[in-house]
Amino acid sequence: MNILVTGAAGFIGAHVALELLLRGHDVIGIDNLNDYYDVGLKTSRLDYVKSQIGDNTADDTSGRLNAHCGALTFLQLDIASMEPLQRVFDEHKIDRVVNLAAQAGVRYSLENPHAYIQSNIVGFTNILECCRHHSVEHLVYASSSSVYGANESMPFSVKDNVDHPLSLYAATKKSNELMAHTYSHLYGLPTTGLRFFTVYGPWGRPDMSPFLFVSAISKGLPIKVFNYGKHRRDFTYIDDIVTGVLGVLAQPAKGDESWSALAPNPNTSKAPFRLYNIGNSEPIELMAFIAAIEDALGKKAQKEMLPMQPGDVPDTYADVSELVDAIAYRPKMNIYDGVKHYVDWYRSYYS
């Protein structure tokens, strides 16, 4: 198939694009390569993807070096710009879409809210419109565990109420779910939203705590431990995330004929619409995660204990039972091996 992956130079996007290519699909990858964090890391991810498929890019005039892999076409563009995005759909027969392009980060949304409206609202609207008008078979898109906001019921279930977000980032992700349902209802567009829980692993984002901890401890600098280390996070290794994304992509959402407006199930509909949690379903105390990093680095951390930040939540814990039922999803990576893989990558990439 021809599969469009937005945010293809991002952490999750690059891994998803690579696995699709290795499975023989042709990937049209788009990314605006903005400077929210190091652009060099984004381009290095793309170079890594190309290296793993034998530089099997669409403009490779020498022919495919790995006949079993699909071809990669990468285009630098912003999904918030409708005209260039429309041309991508016009020029390529897109079968399915994985929308991972978004302005990420809870804390940055307090500083620059307009960036979230442009990318996460305007950009997502453009994706929906293009999918609608080009008869895309399935749209899978990134939501976030942050939509659970003030919810304190554990584990977080896709059947829970999520009407009390604690950051604008979370509010835009909740909005994406509502917008997707509207298009599923009005136009029969199959959509599936995935609420990602804390993702870590090689090529991870430098604004996330795993990177910040590894970087600071490596350099002998103190790390900031918010909420005095009392956080619990459902840390999920990137390979387990990719397996879940591709499993869902292979099964376009269908309408649930048993759905009732008198007792509405929030994660299904009579329209072809689904929502799933995707996480490890095994929350880890922040101090235990830091200890795993210390073991992998062979170095102790200097800790600066601080109160919880605005927009943050104390715990995340994914109920993935719906995803287990749908695609037999089973995360495999334990936190100690996962952290070791991440530290090995960090040391290799940053010498």
HSE-up of residue 152 (Cα within 13 Å, Cβ side): 1
Helices (H), the chain: 11-22, 39-52, 82-91, 108-111, 113-116, 123-133, 168-187, 209-218, 238-249, 286-297, 321-327, 335-349
Per DSSP bridges, beta strands 72-76 and 232-233 are: unpaired
Q: Tell which residue, 30, 33, 71, has the closest CA to residue 50.
A: 71
Q: How far apart are the first and last CA of the chain?
A: 38
Query: Interhelix angle for 209-218 vs 286-297, to 10°?
Result: 40
Query: What CA–CA distance (Å, rounded) separates 191 from 114?
Result: 26
Query: What CA–CA distance (Å, rounded) separates 73 from 58?
Result: 5
Query: What CA–CA distance (Å, rounded) separates 58 from 198?
Result: 33
Which tokens hold the place of 289? 């995660």
Contact 345, 203 (CB under 8 A): yes
DSSP 8-state code for residue 273: E
**Active-site residue (options: 36, 116, 169, 329):** 169
Q: Tell which residue, 20, 263, 250, 277, has the closest CA to residue 142.
A: 277
Q: Is 328 exposed, middle or buried (0-12, 13-18, 19+ CB in 10 A)?
A: exposed
What phi and psi values does residue 179 have, to the nearest 5 degrees?
-65, -45
Query: What CA–CA distance (Å, rounded) separates 83 from 86?
Result: 5
Query: What CA–CA distance (Å, rounded) separates 51 from 35?
Result: 24
Q: Note if 169 is an active site residue.
A: yes
Active site residues: 169
